């Protein structure tokens, strides 16, 4: 749904923020501000992509769907990223679903306009190529983490990644969705969430999670969270001790 607002002078998307002012000025007229509604599918597996989205607020889960209808999250995109990487890589489709996990906003650009502007703005292409590598690393790390680490460690990692993109300490999530995100049964999510809540790191009630102890949650997470966050920080020129999460 198109927003009836004038785009802000300073975008919240980190990729757009990182562009030289002249490149952003050339790209800006192509960008349409849109709302991202909860459970909206931005990227349909195996279907041609009509647009790319620079996420401003909210969160999109990249989900690998299986033949039996089950799915598992393999990546997360927030205001650090872009939905539409196949268009960057000279293709127009992917086998992953892009599902809005937290409602928010984005800048939408039609596929043909996006690919045309990539030819005119080499610095944009270089920046997005680097982002694609960072996102690939997140996907690879998620697969390794889901295969090797305990559920409570993985839940802590996922909650930290969601917290980075939520814009606040409290955000909606259900056990069913967490099960899909972590590729575990609901009972496993319940046990893991109980461990973190008993430790005073989170509060979970009525389909909403509140992060009550961010440092403690980082200590409880496996090292996969730190690896992916450091890669993202390098992309945006943040050094050791600087952080890219929302607050």
Output the pLDDT for position 47: 95
- Given a cut of 70, the residues of the chain with pLDDT beneath it are 1-9, 238-247
pLDDT given for residue 238 in this prediction: 59
* pLDDT tens digits for range 198-239: 999 999 888 899 999 999 999 999 999 999 999 999 999 855
Catalogue all structural domains in the chain, each as residue range(s) with its CATH number. 14-145 (2.60.120.10), 149-235 (1.10.10.10)
The pair of structure tokens assigned to 82 is 């872009």
């Amino acid at each position: 749904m198109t927003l009836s607002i004038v785009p802000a002078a300073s975008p919240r998307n980190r990729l757009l923020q990182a562009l030289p002012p002249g490149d952003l000025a050339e790209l800006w007229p192509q960008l349409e501000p849109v709302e991202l509604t909860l459970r909206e599918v931005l990227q349909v597996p195996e279907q041609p992509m009509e647009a790319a989205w620079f996420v401003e607020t909210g969160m999109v889960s990249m989900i690998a769907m299986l033949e039996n209808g089950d799915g598992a999250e393999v990546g997360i995109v927030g205001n650090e990223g872009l939905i539409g990487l196949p268009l960057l890589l000279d293709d127009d489709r992917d086998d992953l679903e892009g599902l809005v996990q937290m409602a928010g906003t984005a800048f939408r650009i039609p596929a043909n306009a996006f690919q045309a502007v990539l030819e005119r703005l080499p610095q944009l292409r270089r920046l997005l190529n680097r982002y694609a590598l960072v996102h690939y690393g997140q996907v690879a790390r998620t697969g390794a983490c889901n295969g090797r680490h305990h559920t409570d460690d993985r839940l802590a990692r996922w909650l930290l990644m969601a917290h980075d993109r939520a814009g606040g300490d409290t955000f909606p999530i259900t056990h069913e969705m967490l099960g899909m995100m972590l590729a575990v049964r609901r009972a496993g999510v319940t046990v893991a969430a109980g461990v973190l809540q008993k430790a005073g790191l989170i509060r979970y009630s009525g389909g909403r999670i509140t992060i009550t102890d961010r440092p403690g949650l980082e200590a409880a997470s496996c090292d996969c969270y730190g690896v992916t966050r450091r890669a993202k920080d390098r992309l945006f020129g943040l050094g050791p001790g600087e952080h890219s999460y929302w607050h």
